Amino acid sequence: MPRKLLIASLAALCVSSAHAGSLLETPGADLIVFNAQIFTGNLAQPEASALAVKDGRIYFVGSDGDVLGLKNSGTQMIDAGRRRLIPGISDAHTHVLNESSYTYNLRWDGVPTLRQALDMLREQAERTPEGQWVKAIGGWSPFQFEENRFPTLDELREAVPDRPLIVQYAYNRAFLNEQAMEALGVGTVQFPDLPGTEFERDAQGNPTGVVEGYTFTFIAMEAMVPQPSSEEQVSALVHAIHGLNRFGVTSVIDAGNRGYPTAQANVAALARDNRLNVRMPFVDMQFGDGSPINMVEAQIEAITKIAPISPGHKLHPTLAHGHVYRGAGEVLQIDVHDHENFDRPPVTIDPGLMRQHVEQNVRKLVERRIPFRMHISYDENISPFLDALEDLNQTAPLDGLRWSIEHAETISPKNISRVKELGGGIALDTKMALHGDGFIETHGREVALRTPRLRQLVDSGVPLAMTTVAYRAATFNPWVVSGKSVSGSDILAEDNRLSRAEALHLFTAGAAWFMNAESEMGRVAPGNLADFALLDRDYFTVPEDQIRSISSVLTVMDGRVVFGAEEYKALRPPLPDILPAWSPVKHYGGYYGAH
């Protein structure tokens, strides 16, 4: 090409490029947060004071001077006031979609005294309309109370004399007044006849109102009480998510719900209006109409014929990891579910039944490349599950398919290694914080101090997350986890504890593996999704007994403010009214001190 022609061509190309550049968005940040103490979770740049966000992603992290230069006329500027900023909390195992009655329930999460808890019941009973129940279900522990005990039936009857009442402790125990017993048919064939259910009886053999059992007993009871309307279910979801945002939670995995595609309708209602303020990938359980079914076959039927979807399929039109199908679980077969009631000895599954389950059910998932999660709490049941999975891997290779054991409280060092070798992950939870004192009474202090084996789990390198397993088995507050229970008892040996940075990693970058998002979530780093929280106190320096009281003053998800408190309250988006009008959450909030 002649030299003049080459120069002319290059000149024309430059003019064309300049014109195209003029059509692009104005350079600069959408959002800048400065004057912060940023824990990035990025080993190459562990600390910084400012960050810049563009189009829902972090694109610069550094000093105030470097980042402030990225400001333009439209940039939202937030002065962090030297507060601690962390990556957004990811809860890799929770049950938001099961909480369609969230605004119907009086939550005792964090209430410091039983006296206050009973006063809340008494006040709520006065505003609850006829035909509705007074309910305090899950998220609390008797060990959190100053009195360090359960309420008595007389105290509960006095607090709620003329409405049906249920007070439920995890999936362990429920307290019912006479109106509730009559409505549920306690002592009659009307009450579900489920394994492990026991009624406390008085000297005459009559049920007192205390019911003990396992998970499905309490799920069945909940289905027998008045249910919220569709509008109330959407309100419940909005305000449950608001409660999560308050603690700096920006993403959750809904670990099994009422069955795809039914439970997804409420999420879709928020997604349509871009009001889903948390990323919510989900795994799915299929229970059908209560008739005996093969849960895995029902899962395959749901995603291939009823509402076709594949693992990784996005249901939210715009939000990355907004509502994505991530596979089956955590219950894949009811008969192999080892309920984690720490007030009772371990539920031991027949090894032959576990092997049959893996060979017949898990095989179907592996062959179809459907990721799966298995609820297994006790090492006695983890061993036969891994025995069978190792054999399955020989004929139907896992070959990188993501799978995990959920809870795994008493997993042994040997089984930790086996999970890693098979390419699986382990999702722990915070139940010991609420129920560790009960675990000590049942299993002994020496066992409790190694439950779970945190130090060995972290050092093993197995994909690992800490979760809340909210809302029934434990509270949705991720900050309750420490080396002590809510009563102040030591529940972890000194050599079984983690540094605060290691513990935070399990709720951020560690959890990202379970969301298939480890390259873009869990760190404050360029290219990562713009999810982060500004805390009301410095997690790294406050006394240990204050950690459980930490909350966020500013939570950002996808580059937009989803929660604000204190000096940032004006930045938070408006919330719709809480439904129904008599909702306990409307009067007390979803967590003690949150209203």
Q: What is the pLDDT of residues 422-478, one digit of tens each?
A: 999 999 999 999 999 999 999 999 999 999 999 999 999 999 999 999 999 999 999
Which DSSP string do the residues of 383-397 spell out, in sequence order? HHHHHHHHHHHHHS-
287 C-beta neighbours (distance < 10 Å), count: 17
Interatomic CA distance for residues 370 and 383, integer angstroms = 23
**Cβ 342 vs Cβ 439: under 8 Å:** yes
pLDDT of residue 13: 52
On the question of pLDDT at 58 being above 70, the answer is yes
pLDDT of residue 556: 98
pLDDT of residue 21: 46
**DSSP assignment letter at 203:** T
The 3-state secondary structure of 17-75 reads HHHHHHHCCCCCCCEEEECCEEECCCCCCCEECEEEEECCEEEEEECHHHHHCCCCCCC
Q: What is the CA radius of gyration of the chain?
A: 25
Residue whose tokens read 């959407």: 234
Q: What is the arrangement of strands in the sheet containing 560-564, beginning at the earlier edge strand?
A: 47-48, 37-39, 84-87, 532-535, 552-557, 560-564
Could you tell me the pTM of the whole model? 0.94
Length of the chain: 595
Interatomic CA distance for residues 77 and 590, integer angstroms = 30
Interatomic CA distance for residues 103 and 139, integer angstroms = 14
On the question of pLDDT at 18 being above 60, the answer is no
**pLDDT tens digits, one per residue of 472-522:** 999 999 999 888 999 999 999 999 999 999 999 999 999 999 999 999 999
**pLDDT tens digits, one per residue of 113-139:** 999 999 999 999 999 999 999 999 999
Angle at 266 between CA 262 and CA 268, to 5 degrees: 95
pLDDT of residue 22: 44
pLDDT of residue 12: 52
Please list, in sequence order, all residues whose beta carbon lies within 8 angstroms of the beta carbon of residue 243, skipping any fewer than 6 positions away.
476, 589, 590, 591, 594
Residue whose tokens read 């000895």: 345
Interatomic CA distance for residues 165 and 181, integer angstroms = 9
Q: What are the phi and psi torsion angles at 587 (to 5°)? A: -95, -30
Which residues, in sequence order, are bridge partners of residue 279? 251
Q: What percent of the chain has pLDDT over 70?
A: 95
Element (H, E) at 251: strand 249-255
Distances (CA, A) of 322 to 86, 237, 316: 20, 15, 6
Distances (CA, A) of 537 to 82, 473, 506: 10, 27, 20
Mean pLDDT of 224-248: 97
**Cβ 486 vs Cβ 144: under 8 Å:** yes
pLDDT of residue 77: 98
**Cβ 543 vs Cβ 207: under 8 Å:** no
On the question of pLDDT at 340 being above 90, the answer is no
Distances (CA, A) of 534 to 17, 64, 75, 593: 40, 16, 19, 18
On the question of pLDDT at 567 being above 60, the answer is yes
Interatomic CA distance for residues 251 and 364, integer angstroms = 29
Which residues, in sequence order, are bridge partners of residue 176? 166
Element (H, E) at 277: none
- The mean-pLDDT minimum among 103-117, 185-199, 352-366, 367-381 falls in 185-199
Dihedral sign for Cα atoms in the order 400, 401, 406, 412 = negative
* pLDDT bracket for residue 289 (50, 70, 90): confident
Please list, in sequence order, all residues whose beta carbon lies within 8 angstroms of the beta carbon of residue 27, skipping any fewer than 6 positions away.
72
Rounded to 10°, the helix 379-395/413-421 angle is 30
Mean pLDDT, rounded, of the chain: 94
Q: Residue 363 is which amino acid?
A: R
**pLDDT tens digits, one per residue of 270-279:** 999 889 999 9
Interatomic CA distance for residues 349 and 364, integer angstroms = 21
Q: State both tokens at 94.
A: 């929770």
